Structure 1
Amino acid sequence: MGAAVADEGFDFRPGAQVPLSGAAGQTAATFALASAAYRDNEVGEILKANNEWHKSTVKAGKLKLFVPNLGEAFSRAVHDRMLGSGRGALIQSFGTEPQVVVEHCLAANRIRRERDNWLTAVTVLCGLIFLPGLIAWLLVFQIRTMIAKREDKRASALATTLLIAFGALAVIFLLRLPFGGFWAWYARAAIVMPVVGWFWAQQICERTAKDLRARWEGLLSGGGVGAKIPEAVPGSPGETAAESLRQNLAKLSAEQQSNSVFYAGPKGILGMGTRWGSWQLAEDLVPLDESKEIHPFRSWDVIRSIHDQLRMLERGPLNTGGFPRPSIKHWVVTPIGENAGSVSRPGGTDVDAYQVKNHAIQDICNKQQFGSGDRHYLGIQWTLWDGQLVITMLITVTVLHETLRIEVTGHALGPVHPLFTTKPSAKTKQIAKSFKPWETRSKKLPLVETDEVVRLAVRAPITWYPPLLNWLGGSLALPEPFGLRHAWADQPWRHRFMADDALRAATPVLRVVHAASIKVLKENGVNTEKFGNRSSFLSTAIQDASPRKADVYDA
């Protein structure tokens, strides 16, 4: 099964980087995920956002000095996975605009690249030219970092003492050199210039850190911070890199609109969440008049009637708010293994720009109801709570021998992990007061501390070659099959109102589905008495709906 390619209908147009296409009210989840690209937390923090089914991992590097922070690792990993050459199929991110998240990752990478260009110049002028002194200082910082990582407070104090002791030795070395001439002055410069370079680099890093934190704050405050990515806009026909990036962004948007999804056993439908409820109406097809045969009809006829009636759900007899406009779509569902490491989208002449064509969907609906192969589901989906809650109800109709079965299942995808919704806070440290040691006060720390300046300055010259940087410092491994939204989603059942919304949607959907189906049966001469009785029973039972793991069979 090959992956389809995007056609000219899905093209990237630069401009305001705010979710627009069908994404009204979906900015909270999108911007929360995008804010991760600008964060300066430790990379291990993202492991707290792992959920039951999808877990990120942090690949360890060779040297602690090169370890990336959360924003660096996240933006690089997302860029490589979603825009990299030869990338695998992606899972749709319902309730978000993944292109916006990727654009913010690109913007964050560009800001850091500009900073690293300056830091590289500083490193060359104040470090590489005076390499012996740079190596000596780096060895001290590396040893200090290894000692400071220990939880023992005495180890932390020892690390600070080590740095002070080396500084004192450096001063003595400057004042009393055992030799003179050119090499004496070079030795003095080798000790001093790395320190001068550190002060210069600290100013560069502090300025960039303020910019990144302002964007982090702006996204979570709803300010609609734009992602500036001029490298995605070709200025001339010869700019192949910009054109390639533009096409990859277009493919990303096209795949987000695909009508093909994947069922991963207990993990549910990837991107839609686990199945929390299931209701089946299955009865025999008996003629209303025994002297006449049932008028032939197909599963697609029932599905089409259900589709038409679901479009009326937003209307009601009372002006009390009710359902917002839902998204109603026909889905082709492909089964995959629970622990599958990748997925492959349907291909061939029946697929255009990741979309399975309508005639192929009808064939699947009418013919592929038993045995291997893809299945058809009609889905009605609401995106609520600013994109933090995605409710999906799926309907499938099957006919085996004389039994018609109408199945309605509920899926719910909860909010993104709170890690992504935390705003930046000032870096502070509690210290004892001078004359009242039993009391403490809060001391504000610089955004970029000494060790961080050293780390950034050392990483800067090799950021142009990410594979080497990942080998030295480690990287973030994203959960596969990867999709931005479901990878870091919580369950909605811990939020009372979100859970209520998911449970309340089931009853009216079930009743509309049953009413539309019984109408088609009556029109085709089917005795609907048993269908009506069964529908009434299900309508009563669903009023006491409670979430459960419907895909975990206790067999």
Structure 2
Amino acid sequence: MTDGFDFSPGAQVPLLGSAGETAATFALASAAYRDAEIEKILDADNEWHKSKVNPGRSWAKIFRPNLGEAFSLAVRDRMLGAGRKPLIQSFGTEPQVVVEHCLAAHRIRRDRDNWLSAVTVLCGVLFLPGMLVWLVVFQLRAAVAKRDDKRASAIGTTLLIAVGVAAVIFLIRLPFTGFWAWYTRAAVVMPVIGWLWAKQICERTAKDLRERWNSLLSGGGVGAKIPEAVPGSPGESAAERLRQALARLSAEQQSNTVFYAGPKGILGMGTRWGSWQLAEDLVPRDPGKEIHPFRSWDVIKAIHHQLSLLERSPLNTGGFTKPSVRHWIVNPIGEKADSVSRPEGTDVDAYQIKTHAIQDICNKQQFGGGERHYLGVQWTLWDGQLVITMMITVTVLHETLRIEVTGHALGPVNALFTTKPEAPSKKVQKSVKFWETREVKLPLVNADEVVRLAVRAPLTWYPPLLNWLGGSLTLPEPFGLRHAWADQPWRHRFMADDALRAATPVLRVVHAAAIRVLEENGVNTDKFGTRSSMLSNMVQEAAPRKADVYDA
């Protein structure tokens, strides 16, 4: 039992549910089934979080992974690996679902690679001289085809045909006889037979992966099959470790600790686009009398109650969906920090800080170092593509009470993750009506891809060597599935409207609840009311700001 987390069924933290979070979750999960170039992931990075593609050896490009292979392995190792660093919560998604699809995609590819390994050994390794010759030919063809010259593809195909003709002539007129003559003939023919066999295996797997990719983005939500995560007997330690890792992932997703990284905002919630502060002196309402003692937690409790009623409206016109209102403990970290650490001790249970510790932080840690308490109201909208969070904190320094409301917005996942698979095709000139073109469908897996997969297959049993040769994907740190590839919501008109519209009613509810507590405790609220009216006017400005970029 690590991290002080009990993995017995009774101690697991239940998920909040997947309602309203499917689109972003399935979009991220679809990356595990994709077959694009690995560099495509770099186009999805935002300005704050950058992935890194490790190039591998320059002479071993044939071992290079594609996007789906690299993504599924990187996510699996980062989120389930032994001794992994803490994760950032993925608001608006269910990270366990994404990880399960990465495991399922890896399992499908592993089954394919098992077959390809057998084909490579039977038709390649046993006839190594012939396989090496054909590999050199394919590598030369691939190098020629990558040139900008329009005739490069034709030249590469011509080279392959020429070598094939030369091989046929060589088979017919061998300079020697006996065993080596027959072995030489087999060394020329068997790699070709193996390639045809491997092509069928690759086509079948590619079709399966693309169907899953398309189903996720079409709303079908194909399930991820990972039987290796279900222990069949007490002795299956690997399955038990995987089950515990998934349980730990779900528990960490429910943690009430978040991290503030300067201009990056609260990791997982997005940058801070607005900040409104109400700060006035605590003056007794009745001269000659003192105000009744109260604490920051008393104000926060009243605000919490009112925020939980935000979906109610005097008019039957739709309005807010039910928000998630929750207490958060915010830890400050450096803008360039590459890791975070979650609190431990008797005040923490299953990654969650207990209520009495939250109250102590709210009432006492308001100045100087340490954690800070915030009350958050959060909406997950647009099927998880938009996460709006309003954070409220109450502080009392000397005789001044300050209520600060800040707005955070996490936009949709990058468009890379929402593109559906397209069947490979090309336009060719018609033979008779040469001034017209027609579209020709291409195989899902071309000749070079079959060779790449067949050569990589035997090495998939030892990933470190394969990563050293072909390269790998390094995920941005501190890592969380959702915020790593989130775009800003401000380019989407309706998403921007939703974020801006939420601020005004939240601000007014917060101020009204706080002023009511002050009045009940004998505080003169005239200045608070005037300041609240001013802020109500300011919050209606229809423009987000970079509130964490201090121009000093």
TM-score by length of 1: 0.97
Correspondence 1:5 to 2:5: yes
With 368-377 and 150-159 compared, the bigger mean Cα shift is at 150-159
Letter in 2 for 1:36: A
- Pick from 31, 35, 53: which aligns with 1:36? 31
With 510-519 and 160-169 compared, the bigger mean Cα shift is at 160-169
Partner of 2:56: 61
Partner of 2:199: 202
Partner of 1:343: 340
Partner of 2:215: 218
Unaligned residue ranges in structure 1 (runs of 5+): 14-18
Structure 1 stretches of at least 4 aligned residues deviating more than 4 Å after TM superposition: 9-13
Correspondence 1:48 to 2:43: yes
Partner of 1:250: 247
Mapped contact 2:323–2:379 kept (Cα < 8 A): yes
- Pick from 142, 145, 149: which aligns with 1:145? 142
Matches within 5 A, 1:133-532: 133-532=130-529
Mapped contact 2:7–2:244 kept (Cα < 8 A): no
Q: C-alpha displacement at 1:303, in angstroms?
A: 0.5
Unaligned residue ranges in structure 2 (runs of 5+): none
Q: Secondary structure at the match of 2:280?
A: strand
Mapped contact 1:6–1:250 kept (Cα < 8 A): no
Mapped contact 1:92–1:271 kept (Cα < 8 A): yes
Q: C-alpha displacement at 1:441, in angstroms?
A: 1.2
CA distance in 1, matches of 2:454, 2:526: 77
Mapped contact 2:379–2:388 kept (Cα < 8 A): yes
In the TM superposition, what whole-angstrom CA distance separates every residue of 1:6-47 from its partner, at most 9, and x where no partner exists?
54357789xxxxx97322121010001001111111111111
- Pick from 72, 89, 92: which aligns with 2:89? 92
- Pick from 14, 17, 26: which aligns with 2:21? 26
With 143-152 and 425-434 compared, the bigger mean Cα shift is at 143-152
C-alpha spacing 1:350/1:37, structure 2 compared with 1 (3 Å): same
CA distance in 2, matches of 1:445, 1:42: 18
Mapped contact 1:35–1:420 kept (Cα < 8 A): yes
Letter in 2 for 1:219: L
Q: Secondary structure at the match of 2:292?
A: coil
Q: Secondary structure at the match of 2:539?
A: helix
Q: Secondary structure at the match of 1:463?
A: helix
Q: C-alpha displacement at 1:86, in angstroms?
A: 0.8
TM-score by length of 2: 0.97
Q: Secondary structure at the match of 2:461?
A: coil
Q: C-alpha displacement at 1:143, in angstroms?
A: 2.5
CA distance in 2, matches of 1:257, 1:10: 16
Q: Secondary structure at the match of 1:174?
A: helix
CA distance in 1, matches of 2:364, 2:111: 57
C-alpha spacing 1:528/1:304, structure 2 compared with 1 (3 Å): same
CA distance in 2, matches of 1:89, 1:214: 33
Mapped contact 2:377–2:390 kept (Cα < 8 A): yes
Letter in 2 for 1:64: K
C-alpha spacing 1:11/1:209, structure 2 compared with 1 (3 Å): farther
Partner of 1:126: 123
With 247-256 and 467-476 compared, the bigger mean Cα shift is at 467-476
With 47-56 and 385-394 compared, the bigger mean Cα shift is at 47-56
CA distance in 1, matches of 2:429, 2:400: 78
Q: C-alpha displacement at 1:169, in angstroms?
A: 1.8
Q: Secondary structure at the match of 1:431?
A: strand
Q: Secondary structure at the match of 1:543?
A: coil
Aligned residues: 549
CA distance in 1, matches of 2:235, 2:46: 45
CA distance in 1, matches of 2:180, 2:224: 50
Q: C-alpha displacement at 1:504, in angstroms?
A: 0.3
C-alpha spacing 1:362/1:542, structure 2 compared with 1 (3 Å): same
CA distance in 2, matches of 1:473, 1:12: 39
C-alpha spacing 1:7/1:303, structure 2 compared with 1 (3 Å): farther
Q: C-alpha displacement at 1:179, in angstroms?
A: 0.6
With 542-551 and 508-517 compared, the bigger mean Cα shift is at 542-551
Partner of 1:544: 541
C-alpha spacing 1:395/1:7, structure 2 compared with 1 (3 Å): farther
Mapped contact 1:4–1:345 kept (Cα < 8 A): no
Letter in 1 for 2:98: V
Letter in 1 for 2:23: A
Mapped contact 1:64–1:142 kept (Cα < 8 A): no
Letter in 2 for 1:161: T
